[in-house]
Structure formats: C-alpha cells, structure tokens
Amino acid sequence: MIKTPYYLIDKSKLLRNMERIAYVREHSGAKALLALKCFATWSVFDLMSQYMDGTTSSSLNEVKLGKQKFGGETHAYSVAYGDDEIEEVLAHSDKVIFNTIGQLERFEQASASHVRGLRLNPGVSSSEFLIADPSRPFSRLGEWDAAKVEAVMDKISGFMIHNNCENSDFDLFDRMLGEIEDKFGGLLSRPQITWVSLGGGIHFTGEDYPVDRFCARLKAFSERFGVQVYLEPGEASITMSTSLEVTVLDTLFNGKQLAIVDSSIEAHMLDLLIYRETAKMAPNDGEHRYMVCGKSCLAGDIFGEFNFDRPLQVGDRLSFIDAAGYTMVKKNWFNGVQMPAIAVRELDGSVNLVRGFTFDDFVDSLS
C-alpha cells in the first residue's frame, strides 16, 4: 500500500475524457492542445498524446516540457517574455503567441521566421471570480482595440482568445463566441489569418454537455472565417480522473466533529483556498458528519465537511475526488508538509508509484 498523501491518476477515467476529445476533433475539425498550466504530469502523456494534437504553455519551462515530453504541436504563450527567454521559446515551439502588440513588436525580428499569433481580449468572460476573470477591468491579458490590431496584421497569422473559465454552459459559450464574431469579425476574416485558438475553460467533457451542438458551432466558426480552430482543454482533459489519497491523523470535537489528515489545501489543493471552495468526496451521504482539516498551521486549512457511514478513526484512509486540475502544478512545501507522491493506475488495473518526494527535495527547493 502506497504511503499517503499521494495523487492517484486513473488512466481508465482519463481515457473517457480523451475519447470525448477525439470525438470533438473528428466532428468539428478543431485541434486539441493540452493546457500545461492546469495539468503537466508527464507520466500519463503516453496516453494523452494519442488523442490530442499537442500542448500549449504559459512559460518557457512549460514550452520545453511540452516539446520534450508530449510532442505534436507546441504553442508558446506568455503574458510577457523576457529577453533571455525568447530564443529558447522559439526553439521549442511551432507557434508563438504574444500577449500584446508591444511584445510582438519587441520580438518581431527574433521571431521573423516563426508562426506568430496575438491574444485578443473580447471584454466578456464566463468567470465567476474576479481573480480569474481575463476580461476584468484594466485586464493585462490581450489586446481589445481592433483598430490597433489592424496596424500589425502583417506580422501575424492567427489569434488566441481565452475567455471561458469553468464554463459548462454551451449557450453561454455560444453567446460569447457570437460577441467575439461581432467585435473581431473584421480581423478574423482577413486572408492572412489561418488559425484561431479559442483557449480552454470549456467543460465539454462534462456529463450532459451537448457535444454535437458544440461541434457544429466550432465547425461553423471555422468555415465562416476559413481558419483552423484550436481548443486548449485543461480541466476538460483530466476532470474526474484523479484523487488525492490521505490518512486521518487525529479526531476531535470542538462544536463539530473534526478530522485532521496528512495533507493540506494550501500545499496540495491550493485552488480550494484561493477560490474558497471545498474538496469533493464520493460517497458523501452517511450519518456521521466531519469537517476534514489539513495538518498545516493555517487556521483555514479545511478541505470541507463530509458525511461518512461510520465515525472516523485514526488510520482511516480518505479519498478526495476530481483532484487533478491545478493541484500537481501548484503543490508546494508550505510548513514542510510532505509533498504528495504521484501514482498511476494503468489500464490493466495495476498501480505504479511514478514519483515520490523526500527531505532532500524539500532542502533542494530552498537555499
């Protein structure tokens, strides 16, 4: 039995998402790039690369990881490239997407022989959180003035537009895409524009999502503007594929039944803290309710409240489901809490420990 805490990636569950992505690729004509900012655990790239076209990145390190470990197309994007990065970024990418006209012009000469794109900001998004809203007031993410973009059209062949955030509502996606068409249609229809990435944040692998309507909408957009459409699924690629396995270390009562486990949201599921959300657990319908807490010194280190079929005891193992997105890429050594190992359940059911972390890793992360 693997010592907790550890992330357990189940390839059979991952395969379900990959098959849905393959369906969308086939029926819409869109290409799919894994968004490494959400999930970059390359131990399962052998499976994912069979169903996806490549990767998209947010930094030099992600560009290199995608090129070396995933293969296929490699799209490079960053909010801002440094002078010391651009050469390596170009060497490891098929397309480079600049966030602003300023960056495009700054690196125009260096990228002259590269396929170049520019990020557009349509001013609308599906985000419920200001911190994650790419179209928030005074946003730095992309160009919003079509007239200014007109002046640099000779320098690019495509656009990236990322304004969906955890969007499981097809009608909302459809309406926002219509607004993009209205605002930027003149740019998109220019003959030199041959590709458009619609970014990630579209939960088309979720239950009951109208996939065929989604495919038809993507195909219509592609045909209207004569462009290759790209999608950048992050969460959609790995939803419900992974759990965080933990062990109960202590229980107590302080107005509520509490259980302390050998993990931490700040260190191992940071988005729960950032967005004030709770972890997920199934089943969650017993008569014994506990607040499950992390072991760090942060008072708000709480996974959430869950229902169990019996009282919890020290040594019990718990499993938080849907724990792949923005977890392994954000894990940290806060409080020196043990970094979760990473394990993979193969398609034949066997479980392999692919990475463990030690005290030496903690020491080497510091100075």
Q: How far apart are CA 70 and CA 49, in angstroms?
A: 6
Please enumerate in sequence order all residues whose Cβ is within 8 A of that of 366, keeping only pairs 6 or more positions apart, or say none. 333
179 labelled ligand-binding: no
Q: Judge contact between 347 and 308, C-beta under 8 A.
A: no
Give which of 80, 76, 25 is closest to 48, Cα–Cα. 25
Q: How far apart are CA 223 and CA 221, in angstroms?
A: 6
Q: Judge contact between 43 and 344, C-beta under 8 A.
A: yes
Q: How far apart are CA 204 and CA 167, in angstroms?
A: 9
Q: What is the CA radius of gyration of the chain?
A: 22
Q: What is the DSSP string of 132-192?
A: G-TTSTT--SSB--HHHHHTTGGG-SEEE----SSB--HHHHHHHHHHHHHHHHHHHTSTT
Angle between helices 211-225 and 170-188 (to 10 degrees): 10
Q: How far apart are CA 102 and CA 119, in angstroms?
A: 12
Give which of 10, 5, 11 is closest to 245, Cα–Cα. 5
- Element holding 306 (H helix, E strand): strand 302-308
19 labelled ligand-binding: no
Give which of 54, 109, 65, 120 is closest to 89, Cα–Cα. 65
What own/partner pairs with CB < 8 Å and gap ≥ 24 does 143-152 have? 143/100, 143/101, 143/118, 143/119, 144/120, 146/183, 146/184, 146/186, 146/187, 148/101, 149/101, 149/118, 149/120, 149/187, 150/186, 150/187, 151/101, 152/101, 152/104, 152/105, 152/118
Instruction: List binding-site positions.
Output: 235, 271
Residues annotated in a binding site for substrate: 235, 271
